[in-house]
Structure 1
Amino acid sequence: MLVIHGGPGLSHHYLYPLTALSASRQLIFYDQLDAGSSEWPNDPKNWNVPRYLAEIDALRSHLGLDSLIMFGNSWGGTIAAAYAARRPPGLTKLILSGPLIDTRRWALRACLASGDTSSEAFAAATDLFYRRHLCRRDPWPDFVAATFEPRLFNKRCYEGMWGPTEFISTGVLRDYNGSAELASIDVPTLLTCGEFDEATPDTTRRDLDVMRFAAAIPGAEVVVFPNASHMTFVEVPESYLSVVRGFVEAAPETAPAAAVAVAGERRAVGRGLLNGASPCTWSTGGGFYAYPFTAYWNATSGDYGWEARIVAPSQAVVGTSSGRRRRRRRGEETRGREAVTGVGALRFGGAADVYDRPYAEVLDPAVEVGWAAWLVPPEVRPDPQRRGEWTSRAFVGTRVSTASHTFCGCQSMRGDAAAFRLTEHGRASGDIPPRPARVPWYANLTRREISAQIRATCAALARRTSCPEDNETAYAEWASGRDNGTYWRLPPWVEVYSSLPV
């Protein structure tokens, strides 16, 4: 494992806790040019990302590193990510710890672009910032303090490349943005950061920057460490090393699923979450259904479905153009249909022979079969405000076997390592084109064709709809009667699942 330190201009000493990983593999620490124990020519011509990438090539050639894992912290993450985006031969995994990817999204660059940086007040503010967002251990360990000693810390390089302090960038990197290159990374990637990390400067935001960067890397995994900041491996070494060991020692997957997790509750979520079956134990439908009923999720194909037995049809709630509710009469939508023979009505297997078989039979009217297709797929991420919880937002279209409508609307989920709640809101309804009498709308359609019809029906609405930020806003909008006048709105629909899909 090649370990790349931050800075620029720092030494590798603060990364000492990572030496515990050497029990299972060789670790290589080095000091970059103009840093630590390496030479300090202090030539500004050397202070650019391409030269530091060339330094990696020279190091690999000199040491014969044909195969390696790369670890980069902070500015070291800048180098590691840019290097990995070149898809170099022999790179097997990548770990980015609080990486600098986009200077515009780092700390408080715009807050103090000018002024006296030599005053005592400024020094005090800088010290406070460092102890809150750089390293929260008090006092700092000797190996961290040593990194900032004049003999190891090249301040001239740091200021020339970055600026006078962590939250002001006036140097070469002031306009750096490597986010466009992230999609080119093709190796398993782990991104880590602390809850109070300067790499995620505003912890009150709903979307952490590191999460945004991870979303751009195919198959990336993110772990956020509570009560830690930029030097997570110093502040919570046992948790950090456990996560890194698990990632490094895991067998590579042929098609890794994007995942995020909260340290200490390492149940991965993301695309990998929404694959499998999970039981619904309650919904807005109330006594209309028998619980639990099963939902089947397939994030790979971008759709899901459910099969629920109807026990009290008279209790069904349906929206109307005036926003009022009415009761569905028994048999109103299913009159004259025969029960389906055989099993596997949902056909959520993912294989072509499953998705491309038409529904030749009429489904049992006492069972609601539902089909759903995501037009905007769920973006699942940890909730920075509620430790151990995750959220997602999406836009979805649905149809059911017992009605002749397509429902389109915003969808949100909230859950933890054990269960989750799904809410659909802002839903519009459009009639499915009629078919001959006694012929259900799904007759002779395949699962793939149903999904295609749903997406075609909801596409225009998905493009122009602004989804509510949260469930509370959704309910408030519905209760106030807000509508764009082009479709009738249904009350928000909620489903509760007692376990994650398995």
Structure 2
Amino acid sequence: MEFFTSYDGLALAFRTLGDGPPLLCLPGGPGRAAEYLGDLGGLSAHRTLILPDTRGTGASAMPPDLASCRVDLLVADVEALRCHLGLDRVDLLGHSAGGSLAMLYAAAHPDRLDSLTLVTPSFAAVGLPSGNGAEEVIAARAAEPWHTEAVTAHGHMMAANTFAEAASYRFAFEPLMYGRWDDAARAHAAADPTQRSLPVSEHYYRDYTPDSQGLRRRLQALRCPVLLLAGEVDLWPTAKSASDAAPLFSNATLAIQPGAGHYPWLDDPQAFTATVAGFLARPVPVSGGW
């Protein structure tokens, strides 16, 4: 584990894993330590993964003011890490709520990106829905033995007002977030409570109101290539929501991974790695354009 000092003096942690050009990977949750990303299904064989713990999570210090954990303010932590690493430009990956953060970083620092990879991202940062068609996805899995219990838990979670209220229903709900509810998925889901900082979860979007028009204008102007990867059976975002959001970007590749849920590197590591590594292997832009 390594540490750097962010803009406000807070000590934040990150670890590196793998070999190859660096890929900065922003975890989601929101408020879950980057440990849950693992090696992203073997992507570390192609890239050096830089895996930061969001402030207040994992080995990163808890800020005295939790308001600094709001998604738009976390952009400054990402920029501080880029500077600490001495990277003029970065390949940036964001998963889930980390996808929202990655989009905000891209809008604020477009000149610092060589590529943007959004893995099953939340679109809350840009004011777009993530759950279009979710009921159809849930109904299509009705033959699964866990389905009834998971749907009941899903209802409780949707009715909860806080992450803390939803916490007791999360594990029963989790089968809906994986393409396969096997031993690996159960172990991954069971680790959530020990990896999640509920105070950070609660403050991640609190009092955040997106400048939707301004953000969409800046994202549309991005010159770097964008990969938008969704899972076929994911709920947040659904494949439909991801498809609807793809026009946010002028240079986007949309990939829907068959049979995958919210953690596609677990459902089919080979397919996930082939998609992301293939995208990242595209030629580097020259003369400021593609």
Q: Aligned letter for 1:129?
A: F
Structure 2: how far apart are the matches of 1:146 and 1:30?
Answer: 21
Q: 1:131 to 1:43 in 2, by over 3 A?
A: farther
Amino acid at match of 1:251: P
Q: 1:106 aligns with which of 114, 122, 130?
A: 130
Residue identity in the other structure for 1:155? L
* 2:179 and 2:259 in contact (8 A); partners too: no
Whether 2:161 is the aligned partner of 1:129: answer: no
Report the counterpart of residue 55 of structure 2 in structure 1: 33
2-structure distance, mates of 1:54, 1:100: 19
Unaligned segments of structure 1, at least 5 residues = 163-170, 257-502
Residues 229-282 of structure 1, C-alpha deviation per residue, up to 9 Å, x if partnerless?
A: 1101111111000011110112257877xxxxxxxxxxxxxxxxxxxxxxxxxx
TM-aligned CA deviation for residue 134 of structure 1: 5.0
Counterpart of 2:188, as a letter, is: V
1:192 CA displacement: 0.3
Corresponding position of 2:233: 196
Q: Which residue of 2 aligns with 1:473?
A: none
Q: Is the 8 A contact 2:93 2:118 kept in 1?
A: yes
| 1:38-117 pair list within 5 angstroms | 38-41=60-63, 43-102=65-124, 105-107=129-131, 112-113=158-159
User: What is the percent sequence identity of the aligned residues?
Assistant: 27
CA deviation vs aligned residue, 1:206-234 (integer Å, no higher than 9, x gap):
xx111122112011001001111110111
- In structure 2, what is the equivalent of residue 157 of structure 1? 200
Deviates more, 1:14-23 or 1:111-120: 111-120
Match of 1:187 in 2: 224
In structure 1, give the amino acid aligned to 2:39.
Answer: P
* Alignment partners' CA distance in 2, 1:176 and 1:249: 32
Distance 1:118 1:60, change over 3 A: closer
Distance in 2, matches of 1:12 and 1:215, equals 29
- Corresponding residue of 2:188: 144
Amino acid in the other structure paired with 2:50: I
After superposition, residues 232-311 of structure 1 pair within 5 angstroms as: 232-252=264-284
Counterpart of 1:317 in structure 2 is: none
Distance 1:90 1:161 in 2: 24
- CA displacement at 1:24 relative to structure 2: 3.6
Greater relative contact order (Cα < 8 A, sep 6+)? 2
Residue type of the partner of 2:197?
N
How many aligned positions are there? Answer: 239
CA pair 189-221 structure 1, distance change in 2 beyond 3 A = same
Tell me: CA distance 1:146–1:31, structure 2 relative to 1, closer, same or farther (3 Å): farther
Residue number among 247, 250, 253 corresponding to 1:215 in the alignment: 247
Residues 171 and 190, structure 2, Cα contact 8 Å, conserved in 1: no
Secondary structure of 2:39 counterpart: helix
Task: From the superposition, tell whether residues 176 and 232 of structure 1 become closer, same or farther in structure 2 (CA, over 3 Å).
Answer: farther
Choose between structure 1 and 2: higher helix proportion.
2
Q: Which one-letter code corresponds to 2:223 in the other structure?
A: D
Amino acid paired to 2:103? A
Match of 2:261 among 225, 229, 254: 229
Alpha-carbon distance change, 158 to 119 in structure 1, aligned in 2, over 3 angstroms: closer
Cα deviation code 1:336-375 (max 9, x no counterpart): xxxxxxxxxxxxxxxxxxxxxxxxxxxxxxxxxxxxxxxx
Judged with a 3 Å threshold, the aligned counterparts in structure 2 of structure 1 residues 218 and 63 are, in CA distance, closer, same or farther, namely same
**Amino acid aligned to 2:96:** S
What runs of 5+ residues in structure 2 fail to find an aligned partner?
Answer: 1-22, 135-153
Greater mean deviation of Cα atoms: 141-150 or 192-201 = 141-150
Distance 2:192 2:181 in 1: 15
Check whether the contact 2:34–2:51 (CA below 8 A) recurs between aligned residues: yes
Q: How far does residue 101 in structure 1 lie from its aligned partner after superposition?
A: 1.4
Q: CA RMSD in A?
A: 3.3
Residues 25-49 of structure 1: CA deviation (Å, up to 9, x unaligned): 3221110101111112362321223
- Shift of residue 114, structure 1, vs aligned partner: 5.8
Q: Distance in 1 between matches of 2:231 and 2:129?
A: 16
